[in-house]
Structure 1
Amino acid sequence: MPTAAATSDAPRRRRFAATGRVRSGCLTCKARKKKCDERYTADGNRCQTCARLSLVCERVPLRRVVPKKKPRDASRSPSPSTSPSSSPLPSSDPDAGQQETQQDEGEVETSVLTSIPAQTRANNNNGFIALFSLENASPERILLKYYVERLASLCSILQEGSNEFRNVLLPMAIDDSSLLYALFAYASKHLHTSDPAPFSISPLARLKFESEAARGLSEAIRLNNVSESTIACALICSTAEVVSGDTTRWFVHLQGAGHLINQRGGPDRLRQTSDGLFLLRNFAYHDILAALSTGGRPRISGIYWVEDGPISADCLMGVAHELLGHISDICILIADASDNDYCYEADLIHRGESLAQKLKTQPLNLRTTLSSTELGILLHHAEAFRFAGLLHLYRFLSQFSPTAYALRVSECVEGIITHVSQVPLSFHCEVGLVFPLFMAGIAGVDDVTKTYIRNRLNNIFSWTRFEHITRVTELLELLWATGRTDWETMVRDLEWKVSLA
């Protein structure tokens, strides 16, 4: 027999593993194979680890005790509800308890997404659907809800009907996490403008969303795996910078979206799907207005975003598709004059007059199911764009003959104000009037017109909280204070790239 000393020196068997695993920790830490500290926040929603990492903290749901059912007559055939696989009675298998424990610790996804159909869970493994099914309000869920319920509607000038910023971008985000993070970053930048803000997103969390979106973009480019959702991600990154009031980075993202479209196969490839057509319209709208405000040329020329036949109302262009095509040609004319010093003045005037005639006589070929009221307002929006494009062209031509075009510029200002005044205040279409209002404001208008333009821009900002409208207003105020109209020179002096979208 061993002695007492030998017995005390023998190693003792440990009941628990040395890794420190606990059965009462949260499912999120278990899924990450990390030890849960089990120190929950004041509201009890998250452990300290999940709170520090901004993760959704999930715990094992409470189980309902099901009373035992009386066994049925053995002579009866078993029904589906009494089959062995669905019986609530405990199994007689001695390993059943061990198997149940392993299931509790390992199958985290099943316990977290119990309310989601199995097929849906299999098709959406990036957690997108879980953001809506979980009861705890994570930052991601709040941002996605904010984008769906508020921000997406602010991006469209249509008052009624479907919103492509929801119907197109959200399904894409299910399959592309980089686009999903771009939507998070977009919503987080606009969320703080709400008064009062329903939720506070830390700068670190916002940086995380932006970094993940950028990482997904770079990875898609590196692997030559550019998809429609990759293009959408670049466009959302650009728009997020625009509405936050940035005057540089938004243009870089927009140029990147143009590169991605070409890498994807160009407009012809995107036109094969309805989602691709939406992305083309989105890019074309911002690309043309960016070329106008920067003095460059559009990345892609022509009216490549429309098909033959009547044109449907769009959430960005309204019914002004073909008018924007002519404005694109005007930008190319001005860029040609800047790039080629040898251009003859007579040739430039001839090209300009030809473009002016096309823009003035362009009919609006419509196909829409909108109400007559909204369609009438969209027509005023399109006419304001027509006069704004003509004003930009006449200002360029006036350098060759100031007297000949002074009256035409005044007529364009009058036309813009007339049509803008027909758009009701805080109507969704009003958000698309920044470009016409700015063009009217740079034409040396009187104090009454200045006050009207200032009040109208302030009203758009008051209900959209898009900060680029503040930059546009600041630029106009500088021009008015100094009595200048050479806004292109002032923008270069400020080293700004102002978005007029």
Structure 2
Amino acid sequence: MTKPSRFTFTPTGQSPGVTDRPIRRRFAVDGRVRSGCLTCKARKKKCDGQLSSPDGRCRSCVRLGLVCEQRPLRRVATRPSRRKAGGEQEITNLQPSRDDSDSTSQATSSSTDNDDKVAQRTGTLVSSKPSIPVVSGSWDGIERVLLRYFLDHVAPLCSILQQDGSSFCSVLLPMAIVDPSLLHALFAYASFHFDATAPTVPVTPEARLNFENQVTRGVAEAITKNAVTETTVACALVISTAEVIRGDTSRWLLHLQGAGHLVNHLGSSRLLRTTDGAFLLRYFAYHDIMASLSTRRRTLMDGAYWAQDVNATVDSADSFTGLAHHVFRHLADICAFVADTSDLDSSSCSDRRSRDALRAEDMAQALRTQDLHLQVDPSDSYMAALIHHAESFRFAALFYLYRHLLRFCDAGAVYRLRMKDCVQQILQHVSQVPSNLFCEIGLLFPLVIAGIGSGDDVGTTQYIRNRLTYIETWTKFKHVGRARDLLQMLWDNGRTDWEVMLAELGWNLSFA
């Protein structure tokens, strides 16, 4: 009898005992967590994913007292149709791919051929409905559209110079590349103007709120960390200007005052050291002076701090003041005088009234005789229009000063005659500025002043109304419409006390 062998046959490629136990897969443990909140993921800890607390935090974050950051919800975008008929280019989805491990995504701009037509002036300077494709349901798509819209349509309107949008782009875009807060400020600026054109698919309130929150968060973080830079100033200025053209009557002034604090923190001497800083300083100074004229307060900073040399000759036009640099020096002084004497009336101390009246006469004489110190060709039609723009500001400022003197000076008849002459001079110079130039954008303050002083002249009021309506039509700047409405209410009620009317309405208007 043969003995059973101790060995059993096993198939080739298997070792003894393989079939005796189930196959178990081993998982590599490298500390990565692919689900749960972003806070636990950053700590490389397992998240229970149970958001049962009242504030929506997971149990781990509640236990450790941490901020439980969740992934933002994403909206599914509909796939655009693909067609090549009629010579049209194929529309492709330009959304960048998203990695689940990334909590944020950056918008990228893509250039396409022949997808925008050049805005043509057929009665208006900017087309009312720009031919820009709107990508709905995608943050990245909206941001691309708004950035292109800002470059093509908004930036040119930020200057009173013809085709000067490149100056804004050359300063703001490099800053926006390194600071997302400024980029979102440009998105917000463009979204306000974009909606004014009545697009087929407007920017959603959620998208605009997201832009504003990003700007607020970035500026607040810079202030908290004592890391205020030129870019921080630019954020505040852009948001303030965006609120102005939106027709806001309160928030724009708060943003401008915030920009003033940031400028004061950095100091004008520091900003003047760089080209971008000097540009932002002129940007702020212009809007600060225009706001001071309408709100009758002192400018946030005194003097001609925006200029390297106060008495320098003007050989080129500025994006904000044109050729009126030396006139704007006096505007700041007049604003300070009006604020300092706001408590004076006919019953005030005679000595103080006489003293302040002499001070005002000196200011008026200095403004009347101020030379523009120009080194430009006055025969050039474009430069001639800018000269008329500067002169209209000169006489508007004189009217503003004379009207204030009526509050406490005895020579009221003399000042009324001077005011009447100022209105005639303003209208004469404004009429010399063609309606097809960007220089017309800067005529809001002179037109408002002329409207205040000519309420009893039907022909003049009709001209001013039509001019303001035309400016609002092609710029889509809603604060121009607010100014026109203010004048209309004054004319309808036979009033000239525009400051009281603004107080009754609860409006803060910018004459920028």
How many Å separate the matches in 2 of 1:203 and 1:107? 28
SS in 2 for 1:377: helix
Match of 1:143 among 132, 142, 146: 146
How many Å separate the matches in 1 of 2:225 and 2:274? 23
Aligned residue runs from structure 1 range 182-221, under 5 A:
182-195=185-198, 197=199, 199-221=201-223
How many Å separate the matches in 2 of 1:387 and 1:58? 55
How many Å separate the matches in 1 of 2:303 and 2:375? 21
Please tell me the residue identity of whatever aligns with 1:411.
D
Q: 1:126 to 1:159 in 2, by over 3 A?
A: farther
Match of 1:132 among 104, 107, 110: 110
Aligned residue runs from structure 1 range 345-494, under 5 A:
345-367=353-375, 372-399=380-407, 400=409, 401-445=411-455, 446-494=457-505
Contact between 1:257 and 1:283, CA under 8 Å: does it hold in 2? yes
Contact between 1:320 and 1:382, CA under 8 Å: does it hold in 2? yes
How many Å separate the matches in 2 of 1:38 and 1:242? 32
Contact between 2:454 and 2:461, CA under 8 Å: does it hold in 1? no
Contact between 2:157 and 2:165, CA under 8 Å: does it hold in 1? no
How many Å separate the matches in 2 of 1:172 and 1:10? 59
Partner of 2:95: 57
1:306 CA displacement: 1.6
1:380-400 alpha-carbon deviations (Å, 9 max, x no partner):
000110110000011111232
Q: 1:19 to 1:330 in 2, by over 3 A?
A: closer
Please tell me the residue identity of whatever aligns with 2:303.
G
Aligned residue runs from structure 1 range 53-132, under 5 A:
57-59=95-97, 127=106, 130-132=108-110
Q: 1:450 to 1:373 in 2, by over 3 A?
A: same
1:366 CA displacement: 2.5
How many Å separate the matches in 2 of 1:344 and 1:186? 46
1:347-384 alpha-carbon deviations (Å, 9 max, x no partner):
11111111111111111113458981211100000011
How many Å separate the matches in 1 of 2:299 and 2:162? 29
How many Å separate the matches in 2 of 1:372 and 1:306? 26
TM-score, normalised via structure 2 length: 0.74
Alignment of 1:241 onto 2:278: no
Contact between 1:217 and 1:233, CA under 8 Å: does it hold in 2? yes
How many Å separate the matches in 2 of 1:421 and 1:280? 31
How many Å separate the matches in 2 of 1:260 and 1:35? 32
Partner of 2:156: 153
Q: 1:247 to 1:56 in 2, by over 3 A?
A: farther
1:470 CA displacement: 1.1
How many Å separate the matches in 2 of 1:144 and 1:371? 38
SS in 1 for 2:320: coil
Bigger CA drift: 300-309 or 460-469? 300-309
How many Å separate the matches in 1 of 2:358 and 2:71? 73
Aligned residue runs from structure 1 range 242-391, under 5 A:
242-264=244-266, 266-308=267-309, 309-311=312-314, 312-338=316-342, 344-367=352-375, 372-391=380-399
Contact between 1:126 and 1:175, CA under 8 Å: does it hold in 2? no
1:57 CA displacement: 3.4
How many Å separate the matches in 2 of 1:251 and 1:144? 25
Structure holding more helix per residue: 1
How many Å separate the matches in 2 of 1:36 and 1:260? 35
How many Å separate the matches in 1 of 2:194 and 2:264? 33
Please tell me the residue identity of whatever aligns with 2:300.
R
SS in 2 for 1:315: coil
Q: 1:396 to 1:174 in 2, by over 3 A?
A: same
In structure 1, list runs of 5 or more residues that go unmatched: 22-32, 46-54, 61-104, 109-124
How many Å separate the matches in 1 of 2:163 and 2:338? 37
Alignment of 1:222 onto 2:230: no
Alignment of 1:42 onto 2:74: no
Q: 1:126 to 1:409 in 2, by over 3 A?
A: farther
Runs of 4+ displaced beyond 3 Å: 1-4, 9-14, 17-21, 33-40, 105-108, 125-128, 132-137, 160-163, 339-343, 367-371
How many Å separate the matches in 1 of 2:225 and 2:71? 32
How many Å separate the matches in 1 of 2:141 and 2:180? 17
1:161 CA displacement: 5.3
1:488 CA displacement: 0.7
Please tell me the residue identity of whatever aligns with 1:322.
H
How many Å separate the matches in 2 of 1:230 and 1:378? 31
Contact between 1:426 and 1:460, CA under 8 Å: does it hold in 2? no
SS in 2 for 1:346: helix
Number of equivalenced pairs: 416
TM-score, normalised via structure 1 length: 0.76
How many Å separate the matches in 2 of 1:304 and 1:494? 33
Percent identity reads 45
1:274 CA displacement: 1.2
Partner of 2:176: 173
How many Å separate the matches in 2 of 1:173 and 1:496? 32
Contact between 1:160 and 1:370, CA under 8 Å: does it hold in 2? no
1:20 CA displacement: 8.8
Partner of 1:500: 511
How many Å separate the matches in 2 of 1:247 and 1:240? 12
Bigger CA drift: 280-289 or 343-352? 343-352
SS in 2 for 1:356: helix
In structure 2, list runs of 5 or more residues that go unmatched: 1-15, 36-69, 83-92, 114-134
